[in-house]
Structure formats: structure tokens, C-alpha cells
């Protein structure tokens, strides 16, 4: 393993002390902080100090969103890659990685920060060095999925609040450990399932939860198929300069380097992700959970059929057809094709996707949610909601528990397809019913020296 080993302290920072006291209603005057009346609410001493772990494609997007907020200050970035333009998909040709993120941050703050208050942006390869800093309040975790839980657990133990991209977890057991750890240490964790912060998704779920389609009995979810061709004749390649590949692999099984294993396409390899089931399924199944009022539970039976590659580098499902059954009788059908969540009830239906909402009859969409009816958590901006909750210590719109439960649906679907049979699940105990083979898939061994 490369990278410096750093002891992580769980001692609270001065910011933690101030926050906890403010929540308790105590008035504190500290000589270490300049009163907000001098510089305003966004004085340097009042800003949320951010460290960004993983600054590739989506990681750079999150960094830019955070840095534009007046109440934040990005102090550090971390990535195992120095810099690369070898990203495909949405990020083709962009200069991404540790040094580009550092340059962008320092250029952004040039001339915008009062003299003497900004010392530049630190850059790390090893996330533990960033977490060991007592001056950082919160972190983003935007890495391949095998790293989401280990880094987020370490961040919670180090006293940091966390914005972790979806899918929150690689395994069900890892998700339970993370949700419990976040709760134990009193941290804020926002799962990056940002559709919850979009008006059309909230309204669709409010319509369902308030009976506008009658009694809900069926949910249909469509997810896109694979959008990258499987490299059938791939060969090991030299590890490029500037990439700490051992750190990239982390807790996953060791494997020879090829560029198609990294960047966007890691998600089509089961050692690091779960294919489009965890990529898009994590979004649309999350909305299904919200509309079904099952954020704290899950299905009791899963019957999945899938198609998997017989050769090549990629081994996640290319097609999925899964039926989930809930204890309340609702059936959730997920199929490859499209990108949406459709709720069907005894009196109509509502379908929602990004920027679009439809219903039958159309008059359902003219319905108003009355003051005495169910109003779901309202957030107009997912990252702003995270920042607001850091200040107030209230739960964000997509907590660790919610992110874990939504990711669990993705994992259960993959498990049923891989086993080629129906499986029965106890969402309270989070274990299968008399099925040792399926139970063995709830967790995975971690490559030494990594452990939770």
C-alpha cells in the first residue's frame, strides 16, 4: 500500500464545540473566532471548511457547486490521480484530478478572499491525511463505489460531515455499518440522490402519498441500458504516471490495470459497482421508496432475471427484469429501458422523470396539496440542503439510512439476478430467510489492510 499512514483523531474541533453549544441554545464568546458582526454571516471564521475526496468527473462538479456557495471554503482536495484528460462519457476531454482541482480552487479564490485568510488549497493522495486535519468540517466522497463506505465511515469517526455520491454503498452490510456510524457520531450525511431535491419528483410522491391515484398497487421503474461497449479483448496496460493504482483499488480485489477499469467505466465491473442497477437504479428506486413510504424498510421478496456478459472486462447485468414485493402488497417492477418511476393506483397513475411529470387522468396534475395533507421534505438544491443541515444539525433530505435502504434495493436485485432465482428478504433484520447462499452476498471480503 502506498501513501502515508495517519492516525485519525475523534476529538471534536472548535467548530464542533461551537455548533453543539449553539444547538443547545448556549451563548458562547470565543477568542478564536471573529464575531460575524464584523464581516457578516459569511466571514472566514464562519464558513464551512470543505475537503473534496475524489475530484474526477462528478467530483469536480460537486467541488464547483460547493465553491460557489458563499458560506463555504474549500481547503483541500484529494485524488489518487494527479491529473488526466482520459475521461470518457460526459467528461471527455476535461482536465480532471488532483492538480486540476487544486488549480481551479486557487484560481477561483484569487482576489475573492480577504488578504491573509486563504492559505491555498492543499492536495492529497491519501484521504486519511485530509481527514486528520482539524480545520476541515465536511467532506465530499466522490470515488468508485468500493470506497464510499470506508471513507465515509472514517470521515464520521473523524468528526466530519459528509456528502457522499450515490450509490451510497457497495454492499448491504457496509450500508448498515455506515448508517449506524453516522448516527453514533452525530454527523450529517447527505446521499447524492439529488432527484429528491427536484420539484417534479417531490410533487409526484406527494400526489401518491395523498391518495390522488387511489390505492397504490404497482410501481414501474425503467433504467437505461449500458452505454459503453464491453472491451472483449482487453489486455493489462502499464499503470500511467500520476496514478496511485494500488490506492485506487483499495479494498477491492487486486487486478491488473487497464484504463477501462477506471474512470466512468468502473461501474460496469462488479468488484467496484453494480452496473446500471446501482448507477440509475439508485436514482429511480430511491423515488419509488419515497412514494411508497418505505424509506426505512424494503421489499420482502425479490424475483430477478438478468442477462450478463459471458466474456470481456465488464460483468454487470446488461438487461434486468426484476419484481419486488413489499409487505404492504405493492409490486415494484424494474426493467431495462428508459429512465423513470411510474406509480399506478386504483384511480390513476403518475410517471416522473427528470424535468417531466405525467399523469392519467391529466387532471391529477392540477391537484393541490392542502395544508392538512402530507407535505414531503422540501429542498430546492441538494448541496445547499447539505450545507443548511450542517448549520442546523437537522437531518438532510437523503440521510445515510435512506441512501442505504435505496442502495439495498439495487443490491437485492443484482443478487436475485446473479443467483437466478427468487429470494426472500427480512428488511427489519436485513438478512435472508433460510438462505445461507444469499446471506453470503450481503458483505464482501476487503483486501488487506483495509477494514471497517
Band the pLDDT of 90: cuts 50, 70, 90: low
Which of 17-26, 141-150, 239-248 has the least mean pLDDT? Answer: 17-26
User: Same domain for 214 and 356?
Assistant: yes
d(CA 408, CA 282): 9
Pairing relationship of beta strands 348-353 and 422-426 according to DSSP bridges: unpaired
User: Same domain for 101 and 207?
Assistant: no
Q: What is the CATH number of the domain that holds 324?
A: 3.30.360.10
Beta strands in 270-312 (DSSP E): 301-307
Which one-letter DSSP state was computed for residue 218? E
User: Same domain for 150 and 102?
Assistant: yes
Q: Quick check: 15 and 391 in contact, CB under 8 A? A: no
Pick the last residue of a domain from 148, 172, 195: 195
Domain that includes residue 219, residue range: 196-377+401-439
Closest CA to 132 of 47, 13, 245: 13
User: Same domain for 159 and 303?
Assistant: no
User: Same domain for 177 and 246?
Assistant: no
d(CA 405, CA 168): 9
Which one-letter DSSP state was computed for residue 340? E
User: Same domain for 203 and 181?
Assistant: no
Strand partners, 221: 334, 341
Average pLDDT over residues 34-47: 52
- Whether a cis peptide bond, with omega within 30° of 0, leads into 87 is no
Q: Between 148-157 and 172-184, two packed helices, what is the crossing angle to 10 degrees?
A: 10
How much is the pTM?
A: 0.89
Q: Cell triple for residue 300?
A: 420482502
User: Same domain for 182 and 265?
Assistant: no
Q: Which residues contact 356 (CB under 8 A, 6 or more apart)?
A: 200
Average pLDDT over residues 383-388: 98
Q: Quick check: 159 and 130 in contact, CB under 8 A? A: no
Q: For residue 344, is pLDDT > 60?
A: yes
Question: pLDDT tens digits for 118-176?
Answer: 679 999 999 999 999 999 999 999 999 999 999 999 999 999 999 999 999 999 999 99
User: Same domain for 185 and 226?
Assistant: no
Q: Cell triple for residue 39?
A: 464581516
Amino acid at each position: 500500500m502506498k501513501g502515508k499512514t495517519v492516525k485519525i483523531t475523534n476529538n471534536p474541533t472548535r467548530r464542533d464545540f461551537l455548533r453543539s453549544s449553539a444547538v443547545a441554545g448556549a451563548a458562547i464568546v470565543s477568542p478564536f473566532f471573529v464575531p460575524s458582526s464584523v464581516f457578516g454571516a459569511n466571514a472566514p471564521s464562519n464558513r464551512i471548511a470543505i475537503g473534496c475526496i475524489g475530484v474526477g468527473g462528478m467530483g469536480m462538479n460537486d467541488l464547483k457547486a460547493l465553491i460557489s456557495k458563499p458560506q463555504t471554503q474549500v481547503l483541500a482536495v484529494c485524488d489518487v490521480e494527479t491529473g488526466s484528460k482520459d475521461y470518457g462519457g460526459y467528461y471527455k476531454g476535461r482536465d480532471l484530478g488532483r492538480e486540476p482541482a487544486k488549480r481551479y480552487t486557487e484560481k477561483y479564490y484569487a482576489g475573492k478572499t480577504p488578504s491573509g485568510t486563504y492559505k491555498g488549497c492543499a492536495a492529497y493522495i491519501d484521504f486519511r491525511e485530509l481527514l486528520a486535519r482539524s480545520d476541515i468540517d465536511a467532506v465530499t466522497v466522490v470515488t468508485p463505489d468500493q470506497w464510499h463506505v470506508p471513507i465515509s465511515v472514517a470521515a464520521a469517526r473523524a468528526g466530519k460531515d459528509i456528502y457522499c455520491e450515490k450509490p451510497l454503498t457497495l454492499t448491504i452490510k457496509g450500508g448498515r455499518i455506515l448508517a449506524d456510524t453516522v448516527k453514533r457520531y452525530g454527523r450529517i450525511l447527505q446521499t447524492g440522490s439529488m432527484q429528491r431535491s427536484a420539484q417534479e419528483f417531490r410533487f409526484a410522491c406527494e400526489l401518491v402519498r395523498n391518495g390522488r391515484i387511489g390505492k397504490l398497487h404497482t410501481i414501474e421503474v425503467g433504467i437505461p441500458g449500458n452505454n459503453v461497449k464491453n472491451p472483449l479483448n482487453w489486455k493489462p496496460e502499464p499503470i500511467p504516471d500520476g496514478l496511485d493504482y494500488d490506492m485506487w483499488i483499495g479494498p477491492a480485489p487486486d487486478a491488473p490495470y487497464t484504463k477501462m477499469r477506471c474512470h466512468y467505466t468502473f461501474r460496469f465491473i462488479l468488484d467496484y459497482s453494480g452496473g446500471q442497477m446501482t448507477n440509475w437504479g439508485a436514482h429511480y428506486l430511491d423515488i419509488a421508496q419515497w412514494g411508497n413510504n418505505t424509506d426505512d424498510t424494503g421489499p420482502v421478496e425479490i424475483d430477478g432475471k438478468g442477462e450478463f456478459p459471458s466474456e470481456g472486462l465488464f460483468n454487470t447485468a446488461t438487461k434486468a427484469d426484476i419484481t419486488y414485493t413489499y409487505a404492504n402488497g405493492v409490486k415494484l417492477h424494474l426493467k431495462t429501458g428508459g429512465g423513470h418511476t411510474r406509480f399506478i393506483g386504483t384511480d390513476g397513475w403518475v410517471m416522473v422523470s427528470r424535468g417531466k411529470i405525467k399523469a392519467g387522468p391529466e387532471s391529477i396534475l392540477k391537484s393541490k396539496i392542502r395544508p392538512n395533507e402530507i407535505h414531503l421534505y422540501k429542498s430546492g438544491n441538494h448541496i445547499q440542503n447539505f450545507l443548511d443541515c450542517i448549520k442546523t444539525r437537522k437531518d438532510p433530505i437523503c440521510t445515510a439510512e435512506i441512501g442505504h435502504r435505496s442502495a439495498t434495493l439495487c443490491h437485492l436485485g443484482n443478487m436475485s439476478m446473479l443467483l437466478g432465482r427468487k429470494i426472500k428478504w427480512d428488511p427489519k433484520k436485513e438478512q435472508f430467510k433460510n438462505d445461507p447462499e444469499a446471506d453470503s452476498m450481503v458483505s464482501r471480503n476487503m483486501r488487506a489492510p483495509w477494514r471497517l
